[in-house]
Amino acid sequence: MMNWLCTGVSVQGHGHVRQGMPCQDAQGWAQVNDTLILACADGAGSAAHAEWGSTLAVDKVVAHMISHAVGWRMAKDPEDHQAYLLGTLKGAFQSARDALTTLAAREQVALRDLATTLLLAVVSDGYTAAAQVGDGAIVCSVGGHEGIKALTTPFQGQYINEAVFITQENYTDYLQLQAIEGSARHLALFSDGFEPVAIKYATGEPNPVLFEGLFQFMNDTSSQEVRTEAVTRLLTGKRIAERSDDDKTLVLATRCNEFNEGCPS
Amino acid sequence: MDYNQTDYNVIPNLEDTLEFEDNPDQRTPCVLLLDTSYSMAGEPILELNQGLKIFKQTLMEDSLARRRVEVSVLTFGGQVDLVQDFVTADQFNPPTLHASGGTPMGEAIDRALDRVAMRKTLYAQAGIPKTLPWVFLITDGAPTDDWQRAAERVHRNSEAREMALFAVGVQGADMHTLGQIAAPNRPPVKLAGLQFRELFAWLSQSLRQVSRSTAGVQVALPPPKDWAEGWGQV
């Protein structure tokens, strides 16, 4: 049985405080048997009900993954399992979009009023897979000397202020899907408010010092309360505030080993 | 920075992971390991606080030192408190310390050496060059806890050039025990009167010099002028 320590925090950006906007980011995670599911979403600042969109999208993809993870069996051919995982991620995105469409109809708002990015990661049976539409990124470390890897990257349009959302008709054109062999030891998902410190713009690579520090911290800190407080302080701290006034979300997960005191046994 | 926030002990400071990006300069780490036990109450603690202000001022006068010298403050008075985690001098706000309780010097030294080791790991991960970390211990008493194990660690770490510990005894300090804690090649020094200001002016001048060292060039420290009784070799 594989167990995980997970910590996720969303904080309201100063820009949102100033403009009286709520925090429009959302995040969630779940563990079902040996399967880890992590998600986050960043509601568009320009969308009237972005926080509904991001919250519902996260709930839906996590629920979709849970329902498919219950009782799934590793395919005989490992290749099949990889394809199955990627297919399930795709299905999760579609179910989130369908739910947004239903909500928009029920609340009589335009679908674009719920515009949100969506990031989803899953670790299952020796594979780590990720899916994303829009900004933010998913990074992982599989351990050993492989270092920190980006599974997905922030959407890059021609201009920095262009964005894509799952509410778009053609969102699948922008859907990044990635699976790697091996169960990640550590994972991080984050919204674009965290990007300036997390991604080196020059190279597009994740900031290794930051993520190694964060993963080490997850490994060393057994109390969920302490982890949440430390991550909240990081996200609301002045070093990040200097670089971004947007909402910020960070979801961290670390696989338990025999040295983690805080792990459920 | 909020100095009431002395719970770095409990809540890890994750901003550490970001600071080297803003400032990739070489670092000269210095832990101020300060006795704030009850016997320091009154004039000694007031003078110590003044000394910390002068320490900050003198570092700030130097455009390299303010980016390179990293200060951390650990106090031991009743309990060990990490009052200030490592920050560059320009981010350092001198705390106002109060005196109370016993003198858990052994535990304090242990914590200081832990912090230094963690800091060095962080430098290594970030690819930041460093000079030898200094632990500057100031006390007016005798340890009220088990100090022998800490002393052994100081000796081992000094030999391995993991750090250098400088011990300063204020009036009333148990210089004999302090001599057993300090490494043999760096015997403790006795502070003349309550010359904390002169002591911290000297310390910051020394750190300024060290912080501009370049590869292969070791800096000779200035002799302590007016604050020490019988100064040995640094």
Contact (CB<8Å) A210/B18: yes
pLDDT band at B218 (very low <50, low <70, confident <90, very high): low
Query: Tokens standing for A171?
Result: 């969102």
Strand spans (E) along chain A: 4-11, 25-32, 35-42, 118-124, 127-133, 137-141, 148-150, 176-181, 186-190, 248-255
Instruction: Indicate which of A210, A217, A218, A225 best probes the interface with B, i.e. most B CBs within 10 Å of its own CB.
Output: A210
Query: Which one of A234, A235, A242, A254 would you mutate to disrupt binding with B, by most B Cβ within 10 Å of its Cβ?
Result: A234
Query: Contact A230/B14, CB-based, under 8 Å?
Result: yes
Give yes or no for residue A135 having a pLDDT over 80. yes
Query: Does residue B29 carry a pLDDT above 70?
Result: yes
Residue at A125 is within a domain? yes
| A115 assigned to some structural domain | yes
Shortest Cα distance from A225 to chain B (angstroms)?
A: 9
Q: Which residues contact A226 (CB under 8 A, 6 or more apart)?
A: B10, B11, B12
Nearest CA in chain A to B125: A209
- The residue-averaged pLDDT of B152-178 equals 94
Q: Do B17 and A214 touch (CB under 8 A)?
A: yes
Establish if B128 touches chain A: CB-CB under 8 angstroms: no
In a domain, A114, yes or no: yes
Name chain A contacts of B86, Cβ cutoff 8 Å.
none
What number is the average pLDDT over the span B191-211? 89
Q: Does residue A223 lie in a domain region?
A: yes
Structural domains for chain B: 22-209 (3.40.50.410)
Q: How many CB pairs below 8 Å do chains A and B form together?
A: 48
Task: Name the percent of chain A lying above pLDDT 90.
Answer: 64
Provide the shortest C-alpha distance from residue B123 to chain A (in Å).
10
Give the nearest partner residue to A217 out of B10, B12, B22, using CB atoms: B12
The number of distinct structural domains making up chain A is 1
> Of A12-26, A75-89, B107-121, B183-197, which range is least confident?
A75-89
Shortest CB distance from A231 goes to which of B14, B16, B122?
A: B14
How far apart are the C-alpha atoms of B30 and B133, rounded to whole Å?
Answer: 6
Instruction: State the complex-level ipTM.
Output: 0.80
| CA separation for the pair B38, A214 (Å, rounded) | 39
Give the least confident one: B95-104, B138-147, B179-188, B214-223.
B214-223
Mean pLDDT of A76-98: 89
A147 token code pair: 């270092």
Percent of chain B with pLDDT over 70: 91
Cβ separation A233–B20 shorter than 8 A: no
Q: A8-63, pLDDT tens digit by residue?
A: 999 999 888 888 888 999 999 999 988 999 999 999 988 999 999 999 999 999 99
Q: Spell out which residues of chain B touch residue A230, defining contact as CB-CB under 8 Å.
A: 11-14
Q: Which residues of B touch A234 (CB under 8 A)?
A: 14-15
Cα separation, A55 vs A117, in Å, equals 11
Q: Give the pLDDT of residue A71.
A: 63
The residue of chain B nearest to residue A198, with distances taken between CA atoms, is: B18
| Predicted pLDDT of residue B50 | 95
pLDDT band at B31 (very low <50, low <70, confident <90, very high): very high
Summarize pLDDT for A146-177 with one digit per residue, the tens: 789 999 999 887 777 788 999 999 999 999 99
Q: What is the pLDDT of residue B220?
A: 67
Closest residue on chain B to A221 (Cα): B12
Range A169-200 burial, b when 16+ CB lie within 10 A, else e: eebeebbbbbbbeebbbbbbbbbbbbbbbbbe
d(CA B226, CA A172): 74
| Predicted local confidence at residue B6, as pLDDT | 46
Evaluate if residue B120 carries a pLDDT over 70. Answer: yes
Is residue A261 included in any domain, yes or no? no
Q: What is the mean pLDDT of residues B133-158?
A: 95
Out of A250-254, B222-226, B228-232, the most confident range is A250-254
pLDDT interval class at A74 (50, 70, 90): low
Q: Is residue A180 part of a domain?
A: yes
Where in the sequence is the domain holding A78, given as residue range(s)?
A: 4-255
Share of chain B above pLDDT 90, in %: 65
Specify if A59 maps to a domain: yes
Band of pLDDT at residue B148, cut at 50, 70 and 90: very high
Lowest mean per-residue pLDDT among A117-121, B17-21, B130-134: B17-21
Residues of chain A in contact with residue B13, where contact means CB-CB under 8 angstroms, are 230, 233
Confidence of residue B125 (pLDDT cuts 50, 70, 90): confident
* Predicted local distance difference test score (pLDDT) of residue B9: 58
Cβ distance B14 to A213 less than 8 Å, yes or no, reads yes
Task: Note whether A232 contacts B: Cβ–Cβ < 8 A.
Answer: no
Give the per-residue pLDDT at A261.
60
Q: Does A12 touch chain B (CB under 8 A)?
A: no
* Contacts A220 to B, Cβ<8 Å: 12
| Averaged confidence pLDDT in chain B | 88
Q: What is the CATH number of the domain that holds A67?
A: 3.60.40.10
Residue A263 lies in a domain: no
In this complex, is the C-beta atom of B7 within 8 Å of any C-beta atom belonging to chain A?
A: no
User: Stretch A84-97: mean pLDDT, rounded?
Assistant: 95
CB spacing of A213 vs B11 below 8 angstroms? no
Quick check: A263 pLDDT over 50? yes
Residue contact B18–A226, C-beta within 8 A: no
The pLDDT tens digits of the residues spanning B44-66 come to: 999 999 999 999 999 999 999 99
pLDDT at A76: 62
Whether B1 shows a pLDDT value over 50: the answer reads no
